[in-house]
Chains A and B, each alone.
Chain A
Amino acid sequence: MTNEDNNTAEYNSTGNETVGRRTFLAATGAATVTTSLAGCLGGISGGGDDVFRIGHLGPTELEMGRGAERSAQLAVDELNDNGGILGQDVELLSEDTGGAPTEGERVTENLIQQDNVDLLVGTFVSEVTQGIIDFVAEMDVPFLITGSADPDTITENHGEDYDHYKNVFRTGPINSDLQAEGMAGYATYLNEEYGWENFSILADDAAWTTSFRDILPTQIEETDGLSVVHEDRMSVETDNFTPFLDAADSADADVVFRFIAHGGAAAFTSTWAQNEYPFALEGVSVPGMSPEFWDATEGACLYETTSQSGAGGVAPLTERSMDFVDAYEAEYGDEEPPSKPMYMGFNSYDAVLFYAEAAEAADTVDYESDLDAIVDAMLDLEFTGAAGSVSLYGPDSEYPHDVRETRTEDGIISNFPITQWQPDGDDGVVECVYPQADATADHVEPEWL
C-alpha cells in the first residue's frame, strides 16, 4: 500500500499500455537530453516537448494525501478530455513527501530538476511547505499550495521579497489567520443558537495552530458576553487527553475548540464521548475529516464538528462541487479510503483547473520567459472551483498571492464551512452545518448536554 507505483499507473491511464510506455521512454529521453543541456543553456524548463507535467506533493500514505493525489488526477483527466492545456497533453507526477521536510525537499528537487515539471501543486504539512519554498522560489516553477494554511509562508516570504517568491501561490484553503476569524464568527453563531458563552481552546503544538492560539482568543472575546476560559497546547505525542478535558471541564467551558491534526484525534474524541464531558467539541480535527472516521472511532465522533474546505463533499458549495464528488466516488469509491476527496482533494483539484484557466488566459506556460504574464493572469482570474470561488490577493495586500476569503452580506467569512457527524439510524453521517447558506442540516448539540 505504501509502495503504490502511482507513476506507472498514471502513464498507463493516458492511453493504451504500449503507447504509454513509449511516450514515457521518449519523455524520459527528452528529459535526460534537456537536463544534460541545461547546464549549457542555463535553464531546465520542460517546454521542449508536448507534455505539460504537473508535480503533486503530499503525504500519500495518509488518507488526506491520497485523496489529494486522486483529485489532482481527476482534474488532469478532465483537462485531457478537453484538449489539454494550450494543446499540450497533461501528465501528473505524484510524489510522497511522507509529511517530512527532508523528504519533501528531496522529491521536490527531483520533480523540478529531473522531471522538469511545469507546475507544482500540493504540500499538506506547513513545515514541508516552508522547507521547500526557497528552492521552489529560486527555480521559478509556479507552485500552488493546496493543503497547508499557515500565514507565515506568505507574510514572511512574499511580504519580505515579493519578486523572489512571486511564483508561489495558495489557492486554498484560506490561511489560518482568516480561519481564526471564521472560527470566531462561528463562536458567535453557537452563542446565538445555544447561549454558550465559555470557550476553551486546545491546540496541537505545531506551526499550523499558531493563529488559533494567538488570534482566536482575542477575536472570540470581541463579541459581548463571550469569554475564553481555558487555553492549552497539546504535544503531538500525547494520546492521554483526560487532563486537558478535565481542565476544560473545571473551567466551566461550554465549547471546546480543539485544533488537532495527528492520529491522537481518535483517542481525544473517544475520551470526550465515553465520559460525556459537558461541552460541545468543535474546531478543526484533520483526522475527523476522514469519511471513515465514524468507523475509526466506533461512532464516538457523533456530534463533533470540524471546519474543512469542500465541506466533506456533502454540500453543493458551487455548481461544480457535486460533479467533482460524484466523479471521485465513481473512480475511487470502492478503493481504499478515503471514499470522498477530503479538503486537500478539493483544493488540489481546483488548483490544477485554476492554473489551466490562467495559462489559457496568459497564452503561455513558459514560466522561464513569461512568468510575469502567468502571474498577472492568475491574479486577474475569478475562478469557480469545487470548494468555492478562488481569487487571489494582489502584491500590495497583507497576504500577497494568498486565496481571498469570501464573505456574506454581514461580513461573516463564508468559505470556511463546518461539518458535523450526525446520527443516521445506527450509523453516522456528515452534514454541513455552517455557514447557514450552505448548510445541509441544523447543528445539533450532544444529547447529554
Chain B
Amino acid sequence: MIGQLLSILVLGAMISAVYALVAIGFTMIFGVGGVLNLAHGALIMIGAFAYLALTSTAGTISLPPIVGFVLAVAITAGASYVLYAGLVSYIEDNIVITFLATVVVALLVTEVIIIRFGASPSQLIPVVAGSITLEVVGTRIRYVELVAFVVSWIAIGLLWYYVTKTDEGRSILATSMSRRGAELTGVDLETVKSRTWLIAGAFAGIAGVFIGTLQSTAPEMWLNPLALAFIIVVIGGIGSIKGSVVAAYLIGYLETASIEILGPSFQGVLSLIVLAAVLLVLPQGLYGRELVHE
C-alpha cells in the first residue's frame, strides 16, 4: 500500500508537470486574447512530429536529441506565431469563427501529418536514454520522465519570473486582467498577443516532445492534450497561470491514482467527474478572479 502511494506520488509529479505546460499555453491565449485555441493540441502534435523528423534514425537528418529538442520547440513556437499572425489575428473578434477556424487548422494538421508520416504511431528517441528502478516504490522511472519534470518546472519558473518581474511580462498579465486597463496604461495589444502566442507555442513544443516520448506520436495525439487543457483550465480558473499549475497537479494525481488503484481504463473518468463538480459548484474555477469580465 505504501509502495502504491509512493508510486502515485512520484509518477503523478512527473506527468503533472507536463500537463501544466499544456494548460498554461492554452489559458494564456484565452486570458490575453479571449481566443479559445482549439488548435492547441495540434501545436503539441507539431512539436512531437518536428522532433521525430529531426531526430529519427531512419530520417534524413538524424540530429542529436538535444539539438532536435531545441529546434522542435522553436518550430512549434514559430508555428504558433504563424497561426496567430496569419489567421487568428484577422478573425479573433468573432468567437464562433475563431472557434471553427482553429478546429479546421487542427484537422488540417492531422491530415498533413497522415500524408507525410502515415497513420500508424511512432516512438520518439528519448532525449536521455535509460531508467532507474525504485525498489521501494515498485516502479521504474525513465530518465526522460525526470528530464520532462525538470524542464517543465524550469519553463514554468521562467514564465513566472517573466510575468511578475519584467515589464514586458507584466504587460501580458495586465492584458489578461483587463484589456482596456492595459491599453490605457500604454500596453501595445498586438505585441502582447504575438508574444503570448510565441510563449504558448514554445510550451506546447516542449510538452509535445515529452508527451510524444512517454506516450505515442500519432496523428490523433492532439485530442487528449486538448481535452486535458480544457479540463485543467476550467478547474484552475480560465486565464490563471497559477490555477493551471495547481489544477494540472490535481488532474495529474487524480489520473495517476485512478490508474494505480482502479486500473488504466479509469484514467479519464475521475477528472471528468471533478470537472462536472467544479462547473456546478465553482464555475469560475479555483483561481478565476484574475480574469476580470468586461
Contacts and interface: CB of A to CB of B under 8 A. Distances in A.
A61 B139 CA distance: 37
A242 interface: yes
Interface string B120-140: 111111100111010000111
A160 B136 CA distance: 55
A270 B118 contact: no
A290 B123 CA distance: 14
Given A235-B265, A239-B216, A240-B264, A275 B131 contact: yes
**Could you say which interface size class chain A belongs to?**
35 or more
A86 interface: no
B119 to A, nearest CB: 6
Nearest to A205: B265
B170 interface: no
B17 interface: no
B140 A244 contact: no
A contacts with B: majority SS: loop
B115 A1 contact: yes
A261 B292 CA distance: 50
Contact of A250 (B58, B123, B138, B259): B138
Contacts of A295: 56-58, 122
B140 A287 contact: no
A266 B131 contact: no
B142 interface: yes
A266 B264 contact: no
Contacts, number: 88
A266 B216 contact: yes
Contacts of B11: 242
Interface in B177-229: 215-216, 218
B121 A300 contact: no
A274 B264 contact: no
B260 interface: yes
Contacts of B140: 242, 246, 275, 277
B284 interface: no
Interface string A261-294: 0011011011000111100000000010010000
A441 interface: no
Nearest to B224: A239
Given A275-B133, A295-B57, 16 more contacts: A1-B115, A2-B114, A234-B264, A235-B265, A238-B265, A243-B260, A264-B121, A266-B122, A274-B131, A274-B142, A287-B121, A290-B120, A297-B122, A298-B123, A299-B57, A300-B123
14 contacts: A2-B114, A240-B264, A240-B267, A243-B263, A246-B140, A274-B129, A274-B131, A275-B131, A290-B120, A295-B57, A297-B122, A297-B123, A298-B56, A299-B57
Interface of B: 7, 11, 56-58, 114-115, 118-126, 129-131, 133, 138-140, 142, 144, 215-216, 218, 259-260, 263-265, 267
